[in-house]
Chain A
Amino acid sequence: MSPTPKKTNPSSDVILEVKDLVQSYNGRAVLNGLNFKVRKGETFVIMGGSGCGKTTLLRILIGAQKPTSGSVHLFGEDITKASSQELDRIRLRFGMNFQFGALFQSMTVGENIALPLQEHSQVDPSLIEMIVKMKLELVGLTGFENFKPSELSGGMRKRVGLARALALDPELLFSDEPTSGLDPVMTAVVDQLTLDSTRKIGVTAVVVSHDMTSCFRIATHMLMLGNGPRQGEIIAEGTPDEIRANPDPFLQQFVRGEADGPIAFRLSQDDYLKHLLQEG
């Protein structure tokens, strides 16, 4: 079992608040009335199985998608009602680390990290160069400024994505599946970088993941989204210890990674026969 992260002592400042959030596609609710708060200093991990709506939730949280109903208050402002200009102003206060990095392939690593600084700060180019080197040092990629993203491994690309997300020293960092597809050592490295960002730099982190080892390693607060019959509901929420102690069979099956349980892999025998005969 991975060591429980050292608990931070989050203040009561709410940095992100989601109220009655619903997202439906063709009448099917993917997210069903979500309510939660993220406080300053927390590493808030949103976990759940494939198709439970994690990525949809993240897209709504960063303002890339409007929800069907409900509100998302980021730094006290409702981003679901914000204009494009207001949203851009809010976006300068958070960084986003995409699942596959979303690095600009036509640019070098250094240019990728420098871009937000060039666009949103009045900093001298020589200082930008220095900041880029500092961010690369932070993610353990010193000397890779002139490499193209295509010349890097998956883990390195994720680390460059993290460096770019931290370029403007955001108050809040969103991370989408930061460890998916990485080997255990690289997973631990990326987890450590997330922990460093929150503990050393003081960034609040919202991480979407289904890697349980990684989730328990970095989280100070966790939220589990359900799928199947409990699609889009919050199954459980709490500290890592509370999540481990939660008896919910759905949650325990997911945490333990068991094939049998309430999260059905196949249809029941009756449903299967009914489905088969209808299709036939």
Chain B
Amino acid sequence: MNEVVKVGMADLNVSKSPNSIRTSGLGSCVGVVIYDERMKLAGMAHIMLPDSSMAKNGGLNRAKYADTAITDLLVLMEREGANKIGLKAKMAGGAQMFQFSSSSEVMRIGPRNVEAVREQLKKHKIQLISEDVGGNSGRTIEFDPASFSLSIRTVSQGTREI
């Protein structure tokens, strides 16, 4: 039986073929998938904020921030047998759900999340294969570690694959 591994908000997990991995309702959050083609192994993180330095009051959930989430995801994947060299990535999300004239920090959080994920991938030398980011629609994404296909569903445009 194939299962779907669920990743919640500010959460991360890994999945091996034939099981797919999924996260739902990405708004300004970014869903990033890192995968090892040979092992048919994928890790996914549902990132809310660009950088762990934004945390207040200590209590740090590392899966919430682009920098710490990607570091931890790589550790978890290596433990599952992934080879750090040659990893690839896809990402989706980073939308602006509401249109405001103001340019406050909160309004720009989507693009900043996307930028932070790009930077982290570059830092870890992971090639970004494709992305579907920005816009103003929520997204639900599911990755199949066998076909390396990331399927993206939005309310207004149906499902597409990248």
| B and A form one assembly | no
Tell me the B residues contacting A by CB distance below 8 Å.
none
